[in-house]
Amino acid sequence: MLNNNLLLLILIPLAVSFLNIFLPTIIRKILVFATLVVTSVITVNLFNANNETFTLFSNTVLSLDKMSYFALAGIQLLSFIILIFSLKGVEKNIEKQFFALYPLTLAFSNGVVLSENSFSFLIFWGMSGLTLYLFSLLGKTKDSPQTAKKTFIIIGGSDAFLIMGLALVWFLNSGNSWSLLSTNIPLVDGLSYTAFFLFLIAAFSKAGGFPFHTWIPDYSKDSPIESVALLPASLDKLLGIYLLARMFTTIFEINVIINLIIVTLGALTIIIAVMMAMIQHNGRKLLGYHAVSQVGYMIMGIGSGSVLAFAGGLFHMINNTIYKSNLFLTLGSVEKRTGTSDLDKLGGLGKVMPFTFIMALIGALSISGIPPFNGFFSKWMIYQGIIEKTATLSAGYQIWMIICLVLAIFGSALTLASFMKFIHAIYLGKYQKRFSTIKKAPVNQILSTGLLSLLCIIFGIWAIKIPLNNFILPALQDSGLSSPQFIGTYNPQLMIILFGLAFITGIIIFLFTKKIKLDENYLGGMDSEERFRVLGTEFYNEVKEMTPLNTLYKWAEKKYFDIYNISTKFTISTAKLLQKAHPGQLQLYLLYIVVGLLIFFIVSLK
């Protein structure tokens, strides 16, 4: 039993995590590192394996197909790179817990993607949510207890919905099997739609789709930055989108209306989150909103019903985990050196932390969809797939689809805009004297972010060769989708040449017409004061003051659109009414009893 590779992928990190409870920090680190080496090796060995399964009580519990292999490989890769970042620099007082939780998270995430059986899926899914809560309890900010609570109410609550969804699927499948891979429930009646939307809630809460995304920005702000890069930026995306992909391939049979609804939700996620991201003053929160916004593209891609866009969605999932964790980690490096992630207080760090600056720039360019970085091609595939799908729809649906597509492209432009702000606010702008003592980031952090940046480039230039042909297209075939007719028109070499030419032309023009003179800022002959510094955060203040956006922003800041706050308000007002029914008066209580008895008799007479 113990020589089963799939089981080992879960058991080894689990065992290490239990061991780590009793060990000193340094050994914890070594053990976690060794674990990741082992799991990565196992994962690599599994590349050509077929029909690996693990059976318990005569049920297939774990199994591996190409789709789960894709997610599995993503999990090992990201955990490994983020671990390198965490080896040095995690806050001293949380280090112990951090390295006990880290392998735990890995074990449960592996469990989720390997599970074939609904129960094991549910258990691992819930437990990976639990590790998220435990990580968020390590947060040090003032709001972190509140954030931890909010996060876990949304995540744990969605687990409860998932229980019901799985039970409904089992029931609709006439109670035959608990396997997730062979259901194919047609969406015909109320029950099947309910099941579908319950699954959707779970997937959206985990990945951060509208309207269940609200925990991500808060979590990003208040939790240890390594855990932010690990969970909401990487693993939770992988798991949430993995579930979504499974829903659209093996669990349900999707119809056009559902496609449209999901694409709309995706577009809404993109636009709402990116609008919020533009006005943030806190770097972590800004990245948190972007983490939500990018999910919108994956949701659109997977939900659109076109195979090309589906592949694009999966590709975008892995791309997003790479550049988003890169961005979070570079911000983490900055924060660890300067002690703040507040964009108003940072600025001009490009000079003192050049490597970090370059990595962050690559991440920002990737997320904004600039070729040849990886973010471009996956978005491109999604757009093309949606256009392809639109062509097959009737006229009314076409307009709807096009509106969503336009919103998505607009969101992409806004992403670029807000990353200009982000990069400017931290790395550009006037060099500040008080940052002169700042050192470069430690080697392990540069190595980790460097690896991620390298991946951004590799996945951009050799997109078809490496990730698509090896992982994503086999995943599509394995889950019963036909291969897309064409992979979209994309030629990275041509792109690079074009962009390179444009860049060189720019430099040439700049050199020939060089008429500028650089000097320090001054004001009336004096050195300029701090308050005259150009802050990146002010770039989009106009957007914030535009009617009707200003009212919307005001409401958003009061959290009127936060599903957590809405339900809290509803709960409290209902409970206030119910509390009035319990005034401590004995006679009233006795009356309830008598009335209850009478109601029973009246009912029983019928």
Count the site residues for other proteins by CB under 8 A: 57
191 part of the interface to other proteins, by CB under 8 A: yes
582 part of the interface to other proteins, by CB under 8 A: yes
231 part of the interface to other proteins, by CB under 8 A: no
**Cβ burial, residue 52 (10 Å; 0-12/13-18/19+):** middle
Instruction: Indicate which single residue of 74, 129, 375, 467 sits in contact with other proteins (rule: CB under 8 A).
Output: 129
**Cβ burial, residue 215 (10 Å; 0-12/13-18/19+):** buried
Residues 28-57 that bind other proteins (CB under 8 A): 57
427 part of the interface to other proteins, by CB under 8 A: no
9 within 8 A of 64, measured Cβ to Cβ: no
Specify the DSSP element, H or E, that contains 575: helix 563-580
- Cα–Cα distance list, 143 to 129, 131, 483 (Å): 20, 19, 47
Q: Which stretch binds other proteins (CB under 8 A): 81-89, 96-104, 237-245, 598-606?
A: 598-606
Instruction: Report cis status (omega within 30 of 0) of the bond before 548.
Output: yes
404 within 8 A of 300, measured Cβ to Cβ: yes
593 part of the interface to other proteins, by CB under 8 A: yes
Instruction: Indicate which single residue of 2, 516, 518, 594 sits in contact with other proteins (rule: CB under 8 A).
Output: 594
Instruction: Indicate which single residue of 176, 436, 551, 587 sits in contact with other proteins (rule: CB under 8 A).
Output: 587
Q: Which is nearer to other proteins, 198 or 279 (CB)?
A: 198
| Amino acid (one-letter) located at 500 | G
How far, in Å, CA of 374 to CA of 573, rounded? 48
Q: How far is the CB of 358 from other proteins (least distance, A)?
A: 38
Instruction: Indicate which single residue of 96, 157, 410, 458 sits in contact with other proteins (rule: CB under 8 A).
Output: 157
146 part of the interface to other proteins, by CB under 8 A: yes
Q: How far is the CB of 593 from other proteins (least distance, A)?
A: 5
Any bridge partners for residue 342, and if so which? 282
Q: How far is the CB of 600 from other proteins (least distance, A)?
A: 4
Instruction: Indicate which single residue of 69, 70, 85, 170 sits in contact with other proteins (rule: CB under 8 A).
Output: 170
575 part of the interface to other proteins, by CB under 8 A: yes
21 part of the interface to other proteins, by CB under 8 A: no
Q: Which is nearer to other proteins, 123 or 495 (CB)?
A: 123
- Cα–Cα distance list, 82 to 140, 358, 447, 491 (Å): 20, 18, 10, 31
**Cβ burial, residue 549 (10 Å; 0-12/13-18/19+):** middle
CA angle 129–563–170, rounded 5-degree value: 55
Q: How far is the CB of 143 from other proteins (least distance, A)?
A: 8
Instruction: Indicate which single residue of 92, 434, 531, 576 sits in contact with other proteins (rule: CB under 8 A).
Output: 576
600 part of the interface to other proteins, by CB under 8 A: yes
How far, in Å, CA of 206 to CA of 215, rounded? 10
Residues 61-120 that bind other proteins (CB under 8 A): 119
Q: Which is nearer to other proteins, 544 or 559 (CB)?
A: 559
How far, in Å, CA of 108 to CA of 95, rounded? 20
Instruction: Indicate which single residue of 175, 524, 525, 548 sits in contact with other proteins (rule: CB under 8 A).
Output: 175
Q: Which stretch binds other proteins (CB under 8 A): 260-268, 425-433, 544-552, 572-580?
A: 572-580
- Cα–Cα distance list, 439 to 349, 356, 449 (Å): 10, 11, 17
Q: For residue 145, give the 3-state DSSP assignment.
A: helix
* Cα radius of gyration rounded to whole Å, the chain: 26
Q: Which residues bind other proteins (CB under 8 A)?
A: 57, 119, 122-124, 126-127, 129-130, 137, 142, 145-146, 148-149, 152-153, 156-157, 159-161, 163-164, 167-168, 170-171, 175, 191, 194, 571-572, 574-576, 578-579, 582-587, 589-597, 600-601, 603-604
